């Protein structure tokens, strides 16, 4: 009894002191006492330093062109610039993604200017362009001078705009996690440094920066009795630095780094965020982002938010909708003559492709392009090889209306489906609030929902990074390291979808000009213009001629023949093509090839390692077609249609 009273007294007094302390501290002193104050101060200081570095580098390019500065010294200045940049990169990218892409570190490719009434091209600028020039600075001195000057001007604008902004804890944690995504997908893969391949050197700066920032949380973490979270992240970063500081771009082990460094840090940041109880994005924004903040790591099954990519709400009837979609997917009733279904060209055992160079029309004639896999297809901002449909739901109408495919129209399909009690009931169940649920958009939604279910994220590679299996084979591991390193595959087939969905936001799908030949015999390209002809008036740019969507490589072992025209039968043929620098590397005249025309110099063994890795991207799950189709239509010939599997 006595001890209880003492305990009470003690607790109450602690309570009182703390309440008193919190009442009397002014907001500004609270602000600096907490981590977020120094975080903002550090960022402001380093942003200023980066702005200064851009001026220094600009001067260095002038001196270099006057031949008063050696190339070696210029490289030193460039190194300083990159270091200053990598300290502020994550917060600038987070705070103003568009300005970051347009002026600081966007891909070195021209783009159509968005949202203007006339058609104009924006030329790339920023550090990636500079990096390409720095690979051989004497080659294009004028461009280097211009780019260095622009970088300095643009950085000043960004500094002026970001200076008055204050970031919150939530924003800091989100930006830090984005930094880790960027490091894994765009840093160590060489995407960021297409000319100098400084990706691994940069990684040390990125890790050191994170380490310094997280130190500010020391007090807050001990206040909540979780100091180990800080030591964990710092130890991991230390281990990471040991890997990045001694490795070169070629010999860096990316598998180990992602497994033991990148992934634990990514997870650890979330744990710190949770331990401190700061709000998360879902408490601030109504709109889900593509990257699910709650996911543990890049290879988690829930890393990307499926619902970001579609217009279908995440409701109670989602499973009913998917069941309906599955039935429709295999049902030839959708086509005019009741003979062709989605599964005609998308067979589940072939990862929803058809094994043909190009798919066959409803008359059995070869169509123009190769059937694309539907697994993981939801994670994209454009569909078809030419990116003509902008969301998965809009993809289906192109098949319905195509005279060589379903050769039908929605009205006819709606009328047919309405004849079947089974279908009427299934639609009603999926759309309980709609009086006439069989509509064009509900058919699209059902099919989309089924396709959304085709992402199992359980390939050997996934399982390895998820910790489900112990190891990859030596050849798979070497393959991954080449894929994300020397062979530069991961600079277009981005981790973890291994498609053209660009990190760290995963909201835009890229297309590339590779110079794919018409036949294996000659390097001449086919007459398919791809993206430039996709019907979007905003994409009629010369650099989109012969440009095709970068598809996922998941299940690549099941999806041959390869490329938009199915010209290559084997992965070896594909690898040889890339190894020689694509169409341009083989001597074809390709004005806007986005694939570097230089040979990759991969050995046969290296190629076989990459192929071994790609084979490990096959799902282990099986997808089974439905057992039967509804046969309660009034028309006899519909009831006698075949279930194509």
Partner 1 sequence: MKTKLLAIFSLAVSAIAVAQNEFPSVVVETDWEATEVVVPPSPFQYQVLFIGSEDMVQTGINEEVPAKQWHDFIGFTPLTAEDCVDDPNAIGWASVNHEMILSDDKIGDGGGMTAFLLGRNPSNDELYVIPQTLTDGRSGDFFNVDFSAVGETGMNCGGINSNIDGRIWTAEEWFRTNNESIYDGGNGVRDTTDYTIKYTQFEMANFQTIPKYQNFNWMVEIDPRAAKAVRKQYNWGRQPFEGGTVANDNQTVYMGADATPGFFTKFVADTPGDFTEGTTYVYKHDAGGDPWVEIDNEDFTKMLNFGDEAVSAGATMFNRLEWVTIDKTTGKIYMTETGRDNPAGSWEGEAADGAVYAPHHIQRATDQGVSGPGDADYWDYYGRVLEYDPATGEVNIYVEGGPYFETSPALDDYPNKHLSNPDGLNMLYVNVAGEDKRYMLINEDLNGTSFGRTPLEYPNDRMCEMYILDMDVENPGIDDLIRLTQTPRGAEITGACATTDGKSVLVNSQHPDTSNPFPYNNSLTFAITGFDDSGAIATLSAPEFDEDATGFVIYPNPTERIVYFNQVSDVALYNISGQRIAVYRNVKSIDISGLATGTYLLRNGEGETKKLLIK
Q: Which is nearer to partner 1, 22 or 624 (CB)?
A: 22
Distance of closest approach, residue 434 Cβ to partner 1, in angstroms: 10
Distance of closest approach, residue 220 Cβ to partner 1, in angstroms: 4
Among 43, 213, 309, 568, binds partner 1 (CB under 8 A): 309
Q: Which is nearer to partner 1, 286 or 636 (CB)?
A: 286
Q: Tell me how many degrees the CA angle 386-390-394 measures, rounded to the nearest 5.
A: 105
Q: Which is nearer to partner 1, 299 or 431 (CB)?
A: 431
Report the phi/psi class of residue 52: left, alpha or beta, with left for phi > 0 and alpha for psi in -120 to 50. Answer: alpha
Asked whether 414 and 438 are in contact (CB, 8 A), the reply is: yes
Per-residue contact string for residues 458-497; x = within reach of partner 1 by CB under 8 A? ----------------------------------------
**Binders in 313-342 for partner 1, by CB under 8 A:** 313
Distance of closest approach, residue 361 Cβ to partner 1, in angstroms: 19
Distance of closest approach, residue 338 Cβ to partner 1, in angstroms: 25
Among 24, 67, 68, 164, binds partner 1 (CB under 8 A): 164
Question: CA–CA separation, 211 vs 627, rounded Å?
Answer: 56
CA dist 91 to 115, 140, 481, 621, Å?
26, 31, 28, 39
- Secondary structure class of 111 (helix, strand, coil): strand
Q: Interacting stretch for partner 1, rule CB under 8 A, among 5-13, 294-302, 346-354, 493-501? A: 5-13
Q: Which is nearer to partner 1, 36 or 461 (CB)?
A: 36
Assigned token pair, 428? 């009603």
Q: Which is nearer to partner 1, 118 or 470 (CB)?
A: 118
- Please choose, from the candidates 439, 479, 324, 419, the residue with its C-alpha nearest in 3D space to the C-alpha of residue 634: 419
Interacting residues of 286 by C-beta distance below 8 A, sequence separation 6+ = none
CA dist 4 to 14, 135, 176, Å?
15, 73, 45
Q: Does 218 bind partner 1 (CB under 8 A)?
A: no
Location of structure tokens 């230089």: 598
Return the sign of the alpha-carbon dihedral for residues 146, 147, 148, 152.
Answer: positive
CA dist 599 to 55, 95, 181, 523, 531, Å?
36, 38, 29, 15, 26
Q: Does 142 bind partner 1 (CB under 8 A)?
A: no
Q: Which is nearer to partner 1, 390 or 592 (CB)?
A: 390
Q: Does 166 bind partner 1 (CB under 8 A)?
A: yes
Q: Which is nearer to partner 1, 537 or 634 (CB)?
A: 537
Q: Does 276 bind partner 1 (CB under 8 A)?
A: yes
Asked whether 263 and 465 are in contact (CB, 8 A), the reply is: yes
Q: Interacting stretch for partner 1, rule CB under 8 A, among 114-122, 201-209, 317-325, 326-334? A: 114-122
Q: Which is nearer to partner 1, 11 or 248 (CB)?
A: 11
Question: CA–CA separation, 210 vs 229, rounded Å?
Answer: 14
Question: CA–CA separation, 488 vs 486, rounded Å?
Answer: 5
Distance of closest approach, residue 242 Cβ to partner 1, in angstroms: 31
Return the sign of the alpha-carbon dihedral for residues 421, 426, 427, 432.
Answer: positive
Q: Which is nearer to partner 1, 98 or 316 (CB)?
A: 98
Distance of closest approach, residue 19 Cβ to partner 1, in angstroms: 6
Among 237, 258, 312, 472, binds partner 1 (CB under 8 A): 312
Q: Does 176 bind partner 1 (CB under 8 A)?
A: no
Question: CA–CA separation, 161 vs 167, rounded Å?
Answer: 13
Helix intervals (H) in 298-388: 318-329
Q: Which is nearer to partner 1, 36 or 328 (CB)?
A: 36
Q: Interacting stretch for partner 1, rule CB under 8 A, among 12-20, 63-71, 569-577, 632-640? A: 12-20
**Binders in 490-529 for partner 1, by CB under 8 A:** 505, 507-508
DSSP letter for each residue of 486-519: TT-GGGTSBTTTTBSB-TTTT--B-EEE---BSS
DSSP at 618: -
Question: CA–CA separation, 102 vs 573, rounded Å?
Answer: 36
Q: Does 228 bind partner 1 (CB under 8 A)?
A: no
Asked whether 601 and 573 are in contact (CB, 8 A), the reply is: no
Among 331, 393, 512, 580, binds partner 1 (CB under 8 A): 393
Q: Does 285 bind partner 1 (CB under 8 A)?
A: yes
Per-residue contact string for residues 143-162; x = within reach of partner 1 by CB under 8 A? -------x--x---x---x-
Distance of closest approach, residue 286 Cβ to partner 1, in angstroms: 5
Q: Does 200 bind partner 1 (CB under 8 A)?
A: no
Q: Which is nearer to partner 1, 158 or 258 (CB)?
A: 158
**Binders in 585-614 for partner 1, by CB under 8 A:** none
**Binders in 433-452 for partner 1, by CB under 8 A:** 441
| Cβ density class 222-251: b for 16+ within 10 Å, e for less | eeeebeebbebbbebbeebbebbeebebee
Q: Which is nearer to partner 1, 510 or 606 (CB)?
A: 510
Assigned token pair, 420? 């079947």
Q: Which is nearer to partner 1, 508 or 604 (CB)?
A: 508
Location of structure tokens 């379903």: 406
Q: Which is nearer to partner 1, 35 or 472 (CB)?
A: 35
Q: Interacting stretch for partner 1, rule CB under 8 A, among 76-84, 129-137, 206-214, 271-279? A: 271-279
Interacting residues of 280 by C-beta distance below 8 A, sequence separation 6+ = 170, 273, 293, 294
**Is residue 99 exposed (0-12), middle (13-18) or buried (19+ Cβ within 10 Å)?**
middle
Per-residue contact string for residues 14-53; x = within reach of partner 1 by CB under 8 A? xx--xx--xx---x------xx------------------
* Residue 617 CA from chain centroid, whole number: 16
């Amino acid at each position: 009894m006595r001890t209880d009273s003492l305990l009470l007294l003690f607790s109450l007094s602690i309570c009182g002191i703390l309440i008193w302390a919190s009442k009397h501290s002014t907001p500004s002193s609270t602000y600096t006492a907490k981590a977020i104050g120094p975080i903002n101060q550090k960022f402001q200081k380093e942003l200023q330093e980066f702005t200064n570095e851009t001026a220094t580098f600009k001067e260095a390019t002038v001196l270099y062109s006057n031949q008063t500065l050696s190339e070696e010294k210029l490289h030193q200045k460039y190194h300083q610039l990159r270091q200053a940049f990598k300290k502020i990169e994550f917060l600038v990218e987070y705070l103003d993604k568009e300005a970051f892409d347009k002026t600081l570190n966007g891909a070195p490719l021209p783009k159509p200017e968005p949202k203007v009434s006339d058609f104009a091209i924006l030329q790339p600028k920023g550090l990636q362009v500079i990096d390409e020039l720095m690979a051989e600075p004497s080659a294009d001195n004028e461009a280097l001078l211009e780019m260095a000057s622009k970088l300095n001007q643009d950085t000043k604008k960004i500094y002026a705009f970001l200076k008055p902004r204050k970031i919150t804890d939530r924003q800091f944690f989100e930006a830090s996690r984005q930094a880790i995504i960027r490091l894994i997908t765009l840093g160590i893969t060489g995407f960021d440094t297409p000319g100098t391949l400084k990706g691994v050197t940069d990684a040390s700066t990125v890790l050191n920066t994170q380490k310094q920032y997280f130190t500010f949380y020391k007090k807050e973490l001990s206040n909540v009795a979780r100091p180990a979270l800080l030591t964990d992240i710092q130890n991991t970063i230390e281990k990471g630095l040991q890997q990045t500081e001694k490795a070169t771009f070629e010999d860096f082990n990316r598998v180990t780094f992602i497994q033991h460094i990148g992934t634990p840090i990514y997870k650890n940041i979330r744990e710190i965020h949770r331990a401190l109880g700061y709000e998360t994005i879902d408490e601030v924004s109504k709109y889900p982002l593509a990257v699910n903040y709650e996911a543990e790591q890049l290879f988690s099954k829930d890393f990307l938010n499926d619902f970001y990519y579609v217009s279908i709400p995440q409701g109670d009837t989602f499973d009913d909708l998917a069941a309906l979609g599955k039935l429709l997917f295999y049902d030839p009733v959708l086509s005019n003559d009741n003979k062709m279904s989605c599964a005609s060209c998308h067979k589940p055992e072939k990862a929803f492709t058809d094994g043909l160079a190009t798919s066959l029309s409803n008359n059995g004639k070869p169509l123009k392009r190769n059937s694309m896999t539907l697994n993981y297809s939801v994670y994209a901002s454009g569909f078809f090889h030419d990116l003509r449909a902008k969301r998965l739901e809009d993809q289906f109408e192109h098949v319905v209306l195509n005279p060589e495919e379903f050769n039908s129209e929605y009205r006819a399909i709606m009328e047919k489906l309405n004849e079947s009690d089974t279908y009427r009931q299934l639609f009603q169940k999926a759309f309980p609030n709609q009086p006439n649920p069989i509509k064009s958009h509900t058919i699209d939604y059902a099919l989309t929902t089924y396709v959304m279910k085709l992402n199992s994220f359980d390939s050997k590679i996934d399982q390895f990074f998820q910790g489900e299996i112990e190891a990859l084979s030596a050849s798979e591991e070497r393959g991954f390291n080449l894929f994300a390193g020397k062979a530069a595959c991961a600079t277009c087939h981005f981790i973890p979808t291994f498609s053209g969905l660009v990190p760290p936001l995963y909201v835009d799908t890229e297309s590339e000009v590779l110079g794919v030949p018409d036949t294996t015999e000659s390097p001449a390209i086919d007459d398919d213009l791809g993206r430039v002809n996709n019907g979007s008036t905003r994409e009629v740019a010369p650099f989109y001629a012969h440009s095709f969507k970068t598809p996922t490589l998941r299940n690549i072992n099941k999806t041959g023949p390869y490329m938009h025209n199915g010209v290559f039968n084997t992965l070896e043929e594909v690898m040889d093509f890339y190894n020689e620098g694509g169409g341009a590397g083989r001597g074809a005249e390709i004005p806007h090839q986005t694939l570097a025309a230089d040979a990759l110099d991969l050995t046969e063994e290296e190629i076989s390692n990459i192929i071994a890795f790609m084979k490990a991207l096959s799902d282990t799950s099986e997808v089974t077609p439905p057992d039967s189709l509804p046969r309660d239509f009034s028309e006899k010939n519909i009831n006698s249609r075949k279930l194509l599997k």
